[in-house]
Amino acid sequence: MSKSKEELLKALAEAVVEYDEDACKELSQEVLDNPNTLTPMEAVMNGLAAGMEEVGRLYDTHEYFVPEVLMCADALYAGLGILRPHIPKAEAGVNAQVVIGSIQGDVHDIGKNLVKMMFDVAGWGVHDLGRDVPLEQFVEKQLDTNSEVVAMSAMMTTTMLGMKKVIAMIKEKNPECLIMLGGAPVTKDVANLFGADGYADSAGNAVSEGIKMIGRLREFQASKK
């Protein structure tokens, strides 16, 4: 007997929490095979993303750490890869783009990838510049794509000052663009000083913050109905 809507959503969320990639794939296929039960969009937002919210709670309470969170993210992506192509563009809800990357001098990208996941889940157009990205590339890509958000990460103190320059360059040309900063050494004071609009202070907090943003997007999605 096929699962009810509630059962399928619960199973998807649990598969993410239990970092079970195979289950995420199977359940996502089950969603596609039973189009009358729930839509792919509902499965992403109220199944996979709901699971990731629980992962965020487990991270906040020190039950999960970054290795678990990374594996949960893999499970989420396994499901997303199957469901996303079947979400009609009009239903995706968010028609926005983000430019994301780790700044020049920084060869780490865990935090960046976790924040990127948030945008992927929410259906944003993501321009991932990778890591060790020269400052001008952020500005060029933002201008090329007219992206609403630029998200930058610097894991080390030694690279975070480059962010200040990028922010100034982008804000000068496009004051409306929102800037998110993440990375271990960036404190809220530094983010404020640099003129950034958003902040996440570590790979872990980045995902925690990112997950909270997923939660807000889910509320937004629900309120439109």
Interface residues toward another protein, by CB under 8 A: 62, 65-68, 70-71, 74, 104-108, 110, 113, 132, 156-162, 165, 184-185, 187, 189-190, 193, 202-205
Contacts 24+ apart (CB under 8 A), 7-13: 8/34, 8/37, 8/38, 8/43, 8/47, 9/38, 9/42, 9/43, 9/46, 9/47, 9/50, 11/47, 12/43, 12/47, 12/48, 12/50, 12/51, 12/79, 13/47, 13/48, 13/50, 13/51, 13/54
Q: Lay out the sheet containing 198-200: strands in order across.
A: 125-128, 97-102, 149-153, 178-182, 198-200
The least distance separating another protein from the CB of residue 206, rounded to whole angstroms, comes to 10
Query: 3-state DSSP call for residue 112?
Result: helix
The least distance separating another protein from the CB of residue 119, rounded to whole angstroms, comes to 18
The least distance separating another protein from the CB of residue 152, rounded to whole angstroms, comes to 14
The least distance separating another protein from the CB of residue 218, rounded to whole angstroms, comes to 26
In the complex with another protein, the residue whose CB is nearer, 55 or 217, is 55
In the complex with another protein, the residue whose CB is nearer, 57 or 165, is 165
Residue 129: phi, psi to the nearest 5? -85, -5
In the complex with another protein, the residue whose CB is nearer, 108 or 141, is 108
In the complex with another protein, the residue whose CB is nearer, 70 or 143, is 70
The least distance separating another protein from the CB of residue 182, rounded to whole angstroms, comes to 12
In the complex with another protein, the residue whose CB is nearer, 20 or 148, is 20
In the complex with another protein, the residue whose CB is nearer, 15 or 87, is 15
Q: Which residue's entry shows tokens 């000083």?
A: 193
The least distance separating another protein from the CB of residue 179, rounded to whole angstroms, comes to 18
**Helical residues (DSSP H) of 34-187, grouped into ranges:** 40-42, 49-60, 66-83, 110-121, 135-145, 157-173
In the complex with another protein, the residue whose CB is nearer, 38 or 115, is 115
The least distance separating another protein from the CB of residue 96, rounded to whole angstroms, comes to 26
Query: 3-state DSSP call for residue 128?
Result: strand
Query: 3-state DSSP call for residue 86?
Result: helix
